[in-house]
Amino acid sequence: MTDLFLNHLWQSTLFAGVIAILTLAFRHNRARLCYGLWFAASVKFLVPFAALAAVGSLVQWQQAPAAFRAVVASPAARDVNAPFVELPVDLTTIAAAPAQFRWVAPLLFGIWFCGFAAITFGRLKQWLEIRAVVRASIPCETAAPRLRQGSGGQAVPAGIEIRTVPTVLEPGVVGVRRPVILLPAGIDEYLTAEQFAAVIAHEVCHVRRRDSLTAAIHMAVEALFWFHPLVWWIGARLMATREQACDEHVIETAAPIAYAEGIVSVCRRYVEAPLMSVAGVGGADVKARIDAILANRIGLRLTLSKRLVLGIAAVLSLAVPLVTGAIEGAAFAAGQLPGAAAGGPPIDPETRFEVVSIKPFDASSGPARSNTTPGRYDFSGLPLRLLVGQGLRAPLDRIIGWPDWIDTERYTVTAKMPDPPPPATAIFVMIENLLKDRFQLVTHRETRELPVYNLVLARSDGRFGPAFKETSAECQASLRESLEASRRGAPTPTPEARQAMAGCVGVKLGDLGMVTMNGTTIGALANFLTQSVSRPVIDRTGLTSFYDLTMKWTPDGPGPLPFGLPAGSLPQSQTPPPPADPDAPNIFTAVQEQLGLKLEAGRGPVEVVVIDRLEKPTLD
């Protein structure tokens, strides 16, 4: 929760910075434009990008353009978008720390709440005072004739009520749902008819622009984020630009000198600053406003190029988080994001095994193995690379910086699951935390330009090969239902769901150089091929369904080792694997002839994991 809040603050601050640059670029245009930009910066504090991304994730965009997908998923983009995803503080250490450190979070919340309560109480008091003033007001009988006299016969605008009160700071607009123009009693005695009409025109402009509503919204922002100096600065800019916008509206129809004299006369009698929630004629920097009015300074209208810039900025501000959420949602379902298992619900990144035991591997204790049973995880005798690959959820050929002892040390790791057991996909997070706690694992991710194979359709008409077909409609429905249930957080498939998927999904490795896949995705096929061609395979097919396939080929050597393990790193099997079919084609020809796909050599951005630190563990 803390990281989400910090990311929201960071994104809102960055958004406000962009708005500041835009207002600087449009400073010679109409003030109402700058007011709209500043109001957008204020509203951004109430609308997290994460909420828009969550909406975007509901869209099943499985195949975004490759270049855009690479940018969105890159570590640099994630660092800018959410730099606080991984807090530098170990929360488990805090939880186990002495009690005197546990008051930090409640203290911070208490400070925030005190500020929020003080501002809310002050604003509530102002609202009650304004409400009392409105109740004491009476209709202004002289407004209509004075307005007609000063504006050449123009009447009071329909639907706008003008009232007078004996106690009011200055002419202003109050109310959100039904705004009312309040005038101090006797104002018509010191303003000429022309000055009076100009002042009323200013207040009518506030009513029609709904400035009381936008001011109330920003007041809520100030109450919630009172600790952020930027929201107060935005409030000052909102007040300045809203008064400037109404000034520009008035001097288009009224005499600038009479309007300026009217403002000066009002300010001489009502020198107190107006409330933020009351849009008054004397708000903002009066001297600068008078100078602008006397100079008859009206902002320029937008040119076509500037309209285009604003349109692009508006579209991007909404489209980027929506599209990012759609891509990350699809990548999360496919298990392509760090910290996400395929099709699984979000997992608490601090999930850990309850008890962990690490000992040197004893060959007499049984064969090398890695398995998960109810309440228990065992990893014994296998290369440590496999354990690291599981924890980092990355192919081993995309992990860089292995220590020199990684292929010589063997361990027996026994871990007890927490109670109640977390979702099955949490096993990867628990393994990663085990590596951090006991092996001092420290990593970072970066994108590098590496040789790759692009998996594309081999035929221009898009037809598949004879050993490649789309999974049946019944199986597709079962697989999608299971995937959606898993994304909603269902712990395990129901017996009915398992029965419906029986025979629909599975991977079978036959003789050396033969594989059968049922209910697989193209992403899973690309991952399998990656281990067979010793180079990352990038899916460029655009295929988004589930597929059944059988492929037979002749490996170049004794056969690729799983997960990119180096030769000699796996224990030798007592029974050698059956020989490959010597008449079968190589894997590139098999992919093209049997599947109707093609592996094209190229270079592209590939995310790799760099090991900064990995030490031999402390043993039990």
- CA-only gyration radius of the chain, Å: 34
Question: Residue 61 has what pLDDT?
Answer: 53
Give the lowest-confidence range in 235-239, 258-262, 540-544, 575-579: 575-579
DSSP per position, 85-123: SS-SS-HHHHHHS-GGGTTHHHHHHHHHHHHHHHHHHHH
Of 583 and 403, the one with more pLDDT? 403
The sign of the CA dihedral 380, 561, 525, 367 is negative
Backbone phi and psi for residue 182, each to the nearest 5 degrees, phi listed first: -105, 130
Give the strand order in the sheet containing 369-373: 355-360, 411-416, 376-380, 369-373
Give the lowest-confidence range in 409-413, 487-491, 571-575, 588-592: 571-575
**H helix runs in 534-597, sequence order:** 587-595
Percent of the chain clearing pLDDT 70 (strictly above):
74
Question: Residue 610 has what pLDDT?
Answer: 93
**Structure-token pair, residue 422:** 């977390």
Amino acid at 317: S
Distance of CA 235 to the CA centre of its chain: 26
Dist. CA 165–CA 174, nearest whole Å: 12
Backbone phi and psi for residue 34, each to the nearest 5 degrees, phi listed first: -60, -35
Dist. CA 430–CA 352, nearest whole Å: 5
Question: Residue 35 has what pLDDT?
Answer: 92
Element (H, E) at 212: helix 211-224
Dist. CA 55–CA 443, nearest whole Å: 31
**Measuring CA to CA, how many Å separate 439 from each of 352, 456, 457?**
14, 40, 43
Question: Residue 431 has what pLDDT?
Answer: 92
Dist. CA 93–CA 430, nearest whole Å: 16
Question: Residue 435 has what pLDDT?
Answer: 93
Question: Residue 338 has what pLDDT?
Answer: 42
Question: Residue 480 has what pLDDT?
Answer: 78
Q: What is the rounded average pLDDT of the residues 243-261?
A: 85
Asked whether residue 231 carries a pLDDT value surpassing 90, the answer given is: yes
36-63 pLDDT per residue, tens = 999 999 999 998 877 777 676 666 554 4
Asked whether residue 565 carries a pLDDT value surpassing 70, the answer given is: no
Of 72 and 99, the one with more pLDDT? 72
Asked whether residue 223 carries a pLDDT value surpassing 90, the answer given is: yes
Question: Given pLDDT bands bounded at 50, 70 and 90, which one contains residue 370?
Answer: confident
Q: What is the rounded average pLDDT of the residues 434-463?
A: 91
Question: Residue 339 has what pLDDT?
Answer: 42
Q: What is the rounded average pLDDT of the residues 209-236?
A: 92
**Measuring CA to CA, how many Å separate 457 from each of 463, 526, 540, 552?**
8, 13, 8, 19
Asked whether residue 599 carries a pLDDT value surpassing 90, the answer given is: yes
Q: Which residues of 64-82 are buried (b: 16+ CB within 10 A; e: fewer)?
A: beeeebbbbbbeeebeebb
Per the CB < 8 A criterion, the answer to whether 323 and 380 are in contact is no
Grouping H, G, I as helix, E, B as strand and the rest as coil, residue 503 is coil
Asked whether residue 149 carries a pLDDT value surpassing 70, the answer given is: no
**Structure-token pair, residue 581:** 């079919």
Question: Given pLDDT bands bounded at 50, 70 and 90, which one contains residue 455?
Answer: very high
Backbone phi and psi for residue 611, each to the nearest 5 degrees, phi listed first: -80, 115
**H helix runs in 379-533, sequence order:** 384-392, 426-438, 473-487, 495-501, 522-533
Dist. CA 61–CA 150, nearest whole Å: 61
Most confident of 40-44, 182-186, 372-376: 40-44
Residues paired with residue 457 on neighbouring β-strands, in sequence order: 597
Asked whether residue 101 carries a pLDDT value surpassing 50, the answer given is: no
Place of tokens 């005197």: 100
Place of tokens 């925030």: 112
pTM given for the model: 0.53
Asked whether residue 83 carries a pLDDT value surpassing 80, the answer given is: no
Asked whether residue 159 carries a pLDDT value surpassing 90, the answer given is: no
